[in-house]
Amino acid sequence: MGHKVHPNGFRLGVYRNWEAKWFAPDKEFKPLLLEDVRLRRMLMTRLKNAGVARIETERSSSALTITLHTAKPGIVIGKGGTSVDQLRDELEKITGKRVRVTIQEIKKPELSAQLVAENVAAQLEKRIAFRRAIKQSLMKTMRAGAQGVKIRVKGRLGGSEMARVEWNREGRVPLHTLKADIDFGQTEAKTTFGRIGVSAWVYTGNFPTEAPPKPQAAVEEPVESGVPVGAAIGEAPTPLAELVQATIAPPVAPEAPAAQVTAAAPTEAPAAKPKRTRTAKATTTTSADGGEKPKRTTRAKASTGEKATTAPKTPRARAPKKKE
């Protein structure tokens, strides 16, 4: 079994207000409740073509205030206000109290779930295909600025003998999110082959959960010797005090003269390190007769970088070879 909850009743008292605002003792509660139901049915039947989406009632000890949320206020008011006067007289005869009728216009009827459902039901009564009617309503509602919409029809769709359920959705409709502003509407289409129920869900965004911040009054805090009074007393500095403190430029230390700066710098450049010279070690070799001959040592090159001058070499005379 599905546990389905009415979206308006789920958010009632949390983010959404009641449509009937009145209080009565135990003995008077039942007749006043039945009177409210009869008034709502009569108004919805009489103002069927006026696009009434919501009816609010508010009672006092001797008066009744009815607020009508409609997309076509001209039909409710009538020419010169005659329709409103007739409606007020009928309501006073039924209730026996002074009745005040207030009309509020709905500027965007595409975002009202009740009006969307009534629009689909009117198309079904005109023998329009239910899939086409659903898609057109979805497109109009999304273009009006909704973040998500869902429409469901249930009954003998297309005149078939077997009843079924069809639905379509665009966007997202978070039914389990309490802060989501979801409007729900439900109505019936009376066709020749039976009644078809139409339900609509419209998601227009989230309810405002946080109050807007109040603007702070611009109050200057007295400053003594560059320290706010609040900080001197020991209190936590306020944002305004920090702003005032930041605007006060700290004293700048005097710069030293250029002559002293140059005098402090070292005048003599560090001496270059002398290059190290490599000396070859004298080694000895053993001759055939057992004696040791000193090996020729190599002289180290001068570190000054000058080339040493050497005497020209004389060619050695070769001994003539003996012919055998």
Q: Are 106 and 69 in contact (CB under 8 A)?
A: yes
CATH (one of 3.10.20.740, 3.30.1140.32, 3.90.700.10, 1.10.10.1100) for 110-206: 3.30.1140.32
- Mean of the per-residue pLDDT values for the chain? 80
What tokens were used for 1? 């079994």
Q: Which region among 3-17, 94-108, 283-297 has the lowest average model confidence (pLDDT)? A: 283-297
* Rounded Cα–Cα distance for residues 88 and 104 (Å): 16
Q: Which of 34, 88, 83 is nearest to 65 (CA)?
A: 88
What tokens were used for 233? 């007393």
245 CB neighbour count, 10 Å cutoff? 16
191 CB neighbour count, 10 Å cutoff? 17
* Rounded Cα–Cα distance for residues 126 and 191 (Å): 8
* Rounded Cα–Cα distance for residues 176 and 173 (Å): 9
pLDDT band at 80 (very low <50, low <70, confident <90, very high): confident
The set of long-range contacts for 279-287, using a CB threshold of 8 Å and a minimum separation of 24, is none
Q: Are 241 and 231 in contact (CB under 8 A)?
A: yes
* Rounded Cα–Cα distance for residues 132 and 120 (Å): 10
* Rounded Cα–Cα distance for residues 46 and 275 (Å): 116
* Rounded Cα–Cα distance for residues 284 and 246 (Å): 84
Q: Which amino acid is at 84?
A: V
> Is the CATH number 3.30.300.20 carried by domain 7-107?
yes
pLDDT band at 165 (very low <50, low <70, confident <90, very high): very high
43-78 pLDDT, tens digit per residue, is 999 998 899 999 999 998 889 999 999 999 999 988
Q: Which region among 25-29, 174-178, 195-199, 304-308 has the lowest average model confidence (pLDDT)? A: 304-308
pLDDT of residue 62: 85
Helix, strand, coil percentages (3-state) for the chain, rounded to 5, are 30, 25, 45
Domain map (residue ranges) of the chain:
7-107, 110-206
128-164 pLDDT, tens digit per residue, is 999 999 999 999 999 999 999 999 999 999 899 999 9
pLDDT of residue 262: 47
The set of long-range contacts for 186-194, using a CB threshold of 8 Å and a minimum separation of 24, is 186/114, 186/117, 187/114, 187/117, 187/118, 187/121, 188/121, 189/120, 189/121, 189/122, 189/124, 189/125, 189/155, 190/125, 191/124, 191/125, 191/156, 193/156, 193/159, 194/155, 194/156, 194/163
- pLDDT exceeding 70 applies to what percent of the chain? 65
Q: What is the largest CA-CA distance in the chain?
A: 165
**Higher-scoring residue by pLDDT: 267, 100:** 100
3-state secondary structure of 147: coil
Q: Are 150 and 200 in contact (CB under 8 A)?
A: yes
